[in-house]
Amino acid sequence: MMGVRSCPTPQSMPPFDANTLMLVIAVFNGFMALIWLILGRLFRIAPQASFLLAMANIVSIPGLHCPSCSTLWPAALGPWMSELAMVISMALLALGVRRLMRLRFRYVQVLLLCTAAVLAATLFNIWGFADAGLVVLSLGMSLLALLAFRDIVQGRSAEQAPAVTLLQCMPYALWALMMLAQALSLLCLPQSREWFLHGDVPSVPLAWVDLFIELCIGISLVGMVVARLIGRIKHMTLRDGLTETLNRRALSLELRRLQAQVERGQTHCLVMIDVDHFKQINDQHGHACGDAALRHLVKVLRSTMRSLDQLGRMGGEEFCLLLPHTALADAQAVAERMAQALRSAPLQWQGQTLTMTASFGVMPCLQDDPLGDKSLAMADGLLYRAKAQGRDRVCVDTPELRAAQV
């Protein structure tokens, strides 16, 4: 099959060779399989997705370049048996992408599509309709590529730039289009067949597109893994490790953002929360119980929060809740509701029931306070007031209190 040279290139440049291109893709895919195995086994990154992607790459190799494979099956099965490997590889790729994007792992759809395409193509080939078999396989691959495309769009992270998503989806969309066009040309436009096939090997343009797509898919999937690790690092630097709430740095950034909006006339509130008698919990039941108590507190507080509200840990047993676009009276209601929820949901610790309470200081975000320091200090003052008045209560900012504090 060597020496199928057909491509109108400029006089001075030699023509390209489709077989060489397919061989390069095969070598690249073999290399990528190795990479995924190392990623999954050695680095323990997304082991299942890595395994599926490694398999997808390995399975594709006989489909791409296997000069002596045609002797393995009877001639009656027709010239397209190697394409079966490509469909199976595409199915594995779609599954690997789904796993990598952390979507619900529903494999039935992919499996059915792949099996149907393989069976129908084999039957068509046996009956002697080799082209019809290829049409079925092309359509199957097109649909599988579309599934992978959809998964990548669905599984993208919220803060990802649209251009990056576009780049990531592009190879799958291109592949789906190419395969669809190939099926259509075989079905109704016999004169354009040369665009896709040259004898029974892919044409040079198709081989180039194929190489481009495989390179993009392989490299962008590795990029996705890297992006995910980066996301995890960002998350960890902004979160408190124990309670998964914002840490102090992230909270002060959020507060700064809200304070800037206060200057433009928005009303925000903040609530300072401190667990009552936390030292006793720690001393009587140990640090592990203290940790469980904080996690329990956060769980209870979260259940009464809106999605817009932000909870952060100031340190120790002290938390701060940011309530954007909330009037003081509503903020007070939120705090009262939280205190009530906490009272009615005691902590279960090693068979004991520990009732937890907390004190709350509710404060509106002040004007002329770009860093939020003043608002925080005032809320802290209200919190101490609540503690001094006997704990387990909400203390709200009033003009008289403010005058007394100043």
Applying CB under 8 A, which residues contact other proteins?
Answer: 1-2, 5, 12-14, 16-17, 19-21, 23-24, 27-28, 31, 35, 38-39, 43, 45, 67, 161, 164, 167, 208, 211-212, 215-216, 219-220, 222-223, 225-227, 229-230, 232-233, 236-237, 241, 247-249, 286-287, 314-316, 373, 376-377
Tell me phi and psi for residue 28, to 5 degrees: -60, -45
Packing angle, helices 81-100 and 204-238, rounded to 10: 20
- Least separation in angstroms between residue 278's CB and other proteins is 10
C-beta closer to other proteins: residue 45 or 345: 45
Q: 378: which 2 tokens?
A: 């005032």
Contacts of 326 (CB under 8 A, 6+ apart): 267, 268, 269, 334
Closest to other proteins by CB, 157 vs 352, is: 157
Closest contact distance (angstroms) between CB of 267 and other proteins is 25
* Closer CB to other proteins, 66 or 130, in the complex: 66
* Residue number with CB closer to other proteins (78 or 218): 218
226 versus 327: smaller Cβ distance to other proteins: 226
DSSP strands (E only) in 324-404: 347-349, 352-354, 358-364, 394-396
Smallest distance from other proteins to CB 230, Å: 6
We find the least distance from the C-beta atom of residue 111 to other proteins, in angstroms, to be: 31
CA separation for the pair 2, 201 (Å, rounded): 11
Burial class (CB in 10 A: 0-12, 13-18, 19+), 166: exposed
Task: State the nearest-atom distance from the C-beta of 374 to other proteins, in Å.
Answer: 11
Nearer to other proteins among residue 7 and residue 130 (C-beta): 7
Beta carbons within 8 Å of 69's beta carbon, 6+ residues apart: 62, 81, 82
Q: What's the closest the beta carbon of residue 81 comes to other proteins, in angstroms?
A: 19
Whether the Cβ atoms of residue 99 and residue 50 lie closer than 8 Å to each other: no
